[in-house]
Chains A and B, each alone.
Chain A
Amino acid sequence: MNVAVNEKNTTPEMVSQIQKSITQYPAQAYRKEALEAFQKLGLPENKSEEYKNTPITRLLQKNFVFDQPNAAAQKLDVKDFFIPGVEGNVIVVINGVFSEEHSVIVSPSSEITITNLGTAIAGQHPVAIAHLAKYADTAADAFTAWNTATWQSGVFIHVPKGKVVEKPIVIYHIHDTRGGQVITASRNLIVTELNSEVTIVEKFDSVGSGNHFSTLVTEVEVAENAGFNHYTIQNDAGNRYQVVTTNIHQERSSRVNTYTFTLSGKLVRNNLQLSIDGEGIESHMFGLYLVTGDTLADNHTVVDHRKANSFSNELYKGIMDGNSRGVFNGKIYVRPQAQKTNAFQANRNILMSDKATVNTKPQLEIWADDVKCSHGCTTGQLDEEALFYLQTRGIAKETARAMMLYAFAAEILENVKHAELKAYLDQLVSERLHKNF
């Protein structure tokens, strides 16, 4: 088998590590299936359609030693990473493991269940068992397969019928590489019931100068007429390599808003997939990647309209400086039965340096004949004429540049509903853009 795997670009060490980690868990059928899927897929090759602009396999092989245990996490002050002003339930995941010690749940248990996913599955929590590994497709992506086969820990959230969870759930994913390289696979499962509302924030950070590679798979079931808001904040200045895959399954009349902010990291690959599996659904996907240095920020999104009369809107914007690379791929599927679908997509990019690049690709596949769909992508430099105009009013060129970039980014920021979170994100973006006006 190892020979076959080699041809698929996957080292024997990798497979052996995965096999080893799998034996630590009860022999769940889905893990075995996932491992088989992983072995079949192998890591993406250079020419692989889904990773052709993101040489992830080469970067992993270059920067990581597989078949080596993770460095142990050391004592750390997790509060350093907390978002100021945002009060709510705090979940801390250190090196992929749910930390009971650092997590603080303030919402009443009648309103929401928040627990370690590993514990929930081991304890045969019926909701967790019913939904786990139901939405993430292991046959489609090697990292999803890898994660599904080997995940160790993560967060399980269950919002019962009619519960509106006032306070957000903020999940801090922290990697501690002070002792060396860390490779993790963690998993979230979020299940909402009829008429419920919940907001989840995920923030990624690290301490130490070691390399860390993480896969995170989040499966979300958004029930009928439920509302789900999901924020992803990726601003880790450490040596972060990560693949974040979020599969959101929407039932009729549900509402989803996702916000993905990518500001730092070595390699950040986000797979965001919405399954519009009911009528009267409204989904908004916002993304801002504001990167420099050698960061590679890759957003692959899929909106799959499977039922009629739903609406989706996607706006991703990028500002790339230094040697950074941006990748955007937006797929919209409108199935034959999904008549009267409204699906919109836009991707806009500004390149601030000659060395920065962006690859953007809209991909619409429409089988229904009575739909409204549009897409557009633009890539360019800052408008010199506009800069000059601002300068002729006495505004310094640097300020003029910051004003225009901030205005560009603000179109995403102004969609953030949570006030304290908005203030925090605004500050991050303003600092990055040297906003001084």
Chain B
Amino acid sequence: MLSIKNLTAKIGDKQILNGINLEVKPGEVHAIMGPNGSGKSTLASVLAGREEYEVMAGEVDFLGKDLLALAPEDRAREGLFLAFQYPVEIPGVSTINFMKTALNQILEHRGQQPLDAVSFLKLMKEKMKLVEIDQSLLNRSLNEGFSGGEKKRNEIFQMAMLEPKLAILDETDSGLDIDALKIVANGVNKLRNKSNAVVVVTHYQRLLDYIVPDYVHVLYKGKIVKSGTKDLALELEAKGYDWIKDEVAIA
């Protein structure tokens, strides 16, 4: 589904990704962990198409398409979703109107009919239950004045609405208390199926108790330096990142 080969990227003069290789297949959950500043969020941003980053080398194939050649909206229309680490507040734009526009542009891209108001509302109600989010929140300006937990739940609500093939969750767990974390993880788990995949970018192992990964990768200095199963996450939780840094230094 997603095939990243030797991805190298910089922001300004600073090279942050130094040759990333990653294969994600349908039905899989991958966790990308690593110390602060290792390039985790940069990887998520480059995949979603953030303009500030310049890709210097490498390629990314997403469902047979050259992902890096697509505009951010086309990546989304092809089925990529990024849950933001810091969801943006947009005054005056309600989540409901925004989702309606997004969904209809995606449907149009796929040559499908836009949803009428009734079907849209029905779909929305269904997905709201999934992430335990209240409609009054969705009527308000997007993320404006939302708590941290509400913002992250709204991200998962949007994911539920758009039904992406590949979802990248960028530190979705940061700043959440355990109850909010469970709600978010539960939402993600309910959305999982054989044909979609999830990449979880996180600093903490905690989230992986609830979203259980098939593979865990450690990112350090812009490279994946170690890959393993969920046990690797537990090892990282117990021992910290220093031993990884030492291993890299020795190698």
Binding site for B on A (CB under 8 A): 383-386, 388-397, 399-400, 403-404, 406-408, 410-411, 437
Residue of A nearest to B99 (CB): A393
Residues of the B chain whose Cβ atoms lie less than 8 Å from the Cβ of A397: 71-73
A258 to chain B, nearest CB (A): 22
B91 to chain A, nearest CB (A): 6
A-B pairs with the 10 shortest C-beta distances? A407-B92, A394-B76, A391-B72, A393-B102, A389-B88, A394-B106, A437-B101, A391-B73, A407-B93, A386-B88
Residue of A nearest to B90 (CB): A386
A391 touches B105 (CB 8 A): no
Once bound together, how far apart are the Cα atoms of A410 and B158, in whole Å? 24
**What are 24 of the A-B contact pairs (CB < 8 Å)?**
A383-B88, A385-B88, A386-B89, A388-B50, A388-B51, A390-B90, A390-B98, A391-B49, A391-B72, A392-B49, A392-B82, A393-B158, A394-B76, A394-B106, A397-B71, A397-B73, A403-B93, A403-B101, A404-B93, A406-B92, A407-B90, A407-B141, A408-B92, A410-B92
A394 touches B71 (CB 8 A): no
Once bound together, how far apart are the Cα atoms of A395 and B158, in whole Å? 13
A392 touches B72 (CB 8 A): yes
**Interface size of B in residues (CB-CB distance below 8 Å):** 33
Residues of the A chain whose Cβ atoms lie less than 8 Å from the Cβ of B206: none
Residue of A nearest to B87 (CB): A389
Once bound together, how far apart are the Cα atoms of A383 and B91, in whole Å? 11
Residues of the A chain whose Cβ atoms lie less than 8 Å from the Cβ of B82: 392
Once bound together, how far apart are the Cα atoms of A407 and B93, in whole Å? 6
Residues of the B chain whose Cβ atoms lie less than 8 Å from the Cβ of A388: 49-51, 72
Contacts A408-B92, A411-B92 known; 20 new A-B pairs at CB < 8 A: A386-B88, A388-B51, A391-B49, A392-B48, A392-B49, A392-B81, A393-B73, A393-B98, A393-B99, A394-B73, A394-B77, A394-B106, A394-B109, A395-B73, A397-B71, A404-B90, A406-B92, A407-B91, A407-B141, A410-B92
Once bound together, how far apart are the Cα atoms of A397 and B49, in whole Å? 12
Residue of B nearest to A396 (CB): B73
Instruction: Name A's interface SS.
Output: helix
- Asked if B84 is at the interface of the complex by the 8 Å CB criterion, the answer is yes
Q: Given that A385-B88, A386-B88, A388-B51 are known contacts, is A395 also in contact with B93, CB under 8 Å in the complex?
A: no
Once bound together, how far apart are the Cα atoms of A298 and B87, in whole Å? 37
Residue of B nearest to A400 (CB): B73
A392 to chain B, nearest CB (A): 5
- Asked if B16 is at the interface of the complex by the 8 Å CB criterion, the answer is no
Residue of A nearest to B103 (CB): A394
Once bound together, how far apart are the Cα atoms of A437 and B88, in whole Å? 20
Residues of the A chain whose Cβ atoms lie less than 8 Å from the Cβ of B109: 394
Chain B, 101-124, contact with A by CB distance < 8 Å: what is the 0/1 string?
A: 111011001000000000000000
Residues of the A chain whose Cβ atoms lie less than 8 Å from the Cβ of B51: 384, 388
